[in-house]
Chain A
Amino acid sequence: MNESRLKALITGTSDLSKASLASRVLLNRLRIEARTNPASLPQKVAELAAFIAKHAFAADDFARI
């Protein structure tokens, strides 16, 4: 998943209704942090990218979007 898609996910409001609870809760936290501090968006994108790279379940979750 490229950086622009990750950025759109974090700044967006789309639901991940079919995703694991872990992915949904983490994405929600990243959205809140990016909303509260827009300058932190690159860090949040990096954190989400690392999470997806580390976990096969997360890769599946976000590939479905």
Chain B
Amino acid sequence: MKNELLTPAETAERIRAGAILSIAGPDALLATLPRGTWIGGTTVYMLTEDGGARIDDRLFVSTFESATGATIRHHSPDTLPALAQDRPEGVTLLLIPAFSDAHRRFALDGTTYDGLFDQPLAGWITGVPVEKIGTTAPAIFDGTTGTRHTEGAMALHVALPAGTTPSLDIVNIFTPSDDPATTFTFPETGFSARTATVNGKTVDLAAYLRAHAIDTRLPLVANYAGALINVSFEHVDAAGGGVSFYAPVIAGTEYRLATAQPDYAAAFAATLGDGGEGMLSCNCILNYLHGDMAGKKTGRFTGPVTFGEIAYILLNQTLVKLDLAA
């Protein structure tokens, strides 16, 4: 795996050479690329070896050098449950536009898709410049046809040489608090909640968050059999309309507010160490914004900054890392 920041002309040259690529970048640049074996997703935020940055004039290109083949498929929300069917042995990279129906349905139902856990499934939720949220739709691109989509999911199934054992994992810099006053369970599964149970009492969640001055830049953390999985707050409606999240909360699952993280970039750098070169990774726009990561280095784990991460399931405020050389 080779990760590079390339100009559109350099990227086009790579495509024409027949490389198998995943490309992240501005919508307008992705739209100029020639047809080939690539998928693309929109974002202008990147983590580079020089630090986090907004990059409007280049593309983040990941080249699957060891691939022996690739299959690219666009799934509508209705065909999404078949995404793990009939794919070559290797890994799958999945891109889904933020705020789309596919985004919502994958988050809610993805773990029930047949064969989902058979091999590594990594990916990310595509985004837009923050000033364009609500006015411009995030997009995904099918390089084989040059088609741009704002709905559905784009899957790049990468075939790898026999004997390769790729590994997929996550890095979560947040730890859950032990405070029962910030431990929540929810009555229903979904991207929003009006009530939650805290200390055995049902509370109006928005009012409770305000009354306790809870920092909603910190995620809620659930323990998935030893994996710490974040759900981030999207909006707290001051008018009593409830609370929305960037990933679904699961009914009956215990969520604990994360403890404060003084320096996001340093925490990632310390956790990740010197590894990362040659891995596919992505990190969350909320970490980039709340952690003020622009210009700060996070080690050698470079990649797009995204509106959600995928490692079998939808994640928030998490770094995903896919190692093909494992």
Q: Tell me if B253 and A21 are in contact (CB < 8 A).
A: no
A28 lies within 8 A of chain B by Cβ:
yes
Q: How many residues of B contact A (CB 8 A)?
A: 22
Q: How many residues of A contact B (CB 8 A)?
A: 24
State in angstroms the CA–CA spacing of A35 and B251 once bound together: 10
Of A19, A35, A51, A55, the contact of B226 (CB 8 Å cutoff): A19
A25 lies within 8 A of chain B by Cβ:
yes
* Min C-beta distance of B189 to chain A, whole Å: 9
Contacts of A17 in B (CB 8 A): 226
State in angstroms the CA–CA spacing of A16 and B117 once bound together: 16
* Min C-beta distance of B220 to chain A, whole Å: 15
B225 lies within 8 A of chain A by Cβ:
yes
Q: Tell me if B252 and A21 are in contact (CB < 8 A).
A: no
State in angstroms the CA–CA spacing of A24 and B118 once bound together: 13
| Contacts between the two chains (Cβ within 8 Å), count | 54
If the complex has contacts A29-B111, A32-B250, are A24 and B117 also in contact, measured as CB distance less than 8 A? no
Q: Tell me if A16 and B226 are in contact (CB < 8 A).
A: yes
A10-33 interface (Cβ within 8 A of B):
14-29, 31-32
B201-259 interface (Cβ within 8 A of A):
223-227, 250-253
Binary contact track B251-293/A, C-beta < 8 Å → 1, others 0: 1110000000000000000000000000000000000000000
A36 lies within 8 A of chain B by Cβ:
yes
Q: Tell me if A16 and B252 are in contact (CB < 8 A).
A: no
* Min C-beta distance of A41 to chain B, whole Å: 16
B312 lies within 8 A of chain A by Cβ:
yes
Q: Tell me if B111 and A21 are in contact (CB < 8 A).
A: no
Question: Which B residues are closer than 8 A to A by beta carbons?
Answer: 111-112, 117-118, 120, 165, 167-170, 223-227, 250-253, 311-313
Question: Which A residues are closer than 8 A to B by beta carbons?
Answer: 14-29, 31-32, 35-36, 51, 54-55, 57
User: Which 4 pairs across A and B sit closest by C-beta, in order of nearness?
Assistant: A15-B226, A28-B224, A17-B226, A22-B117
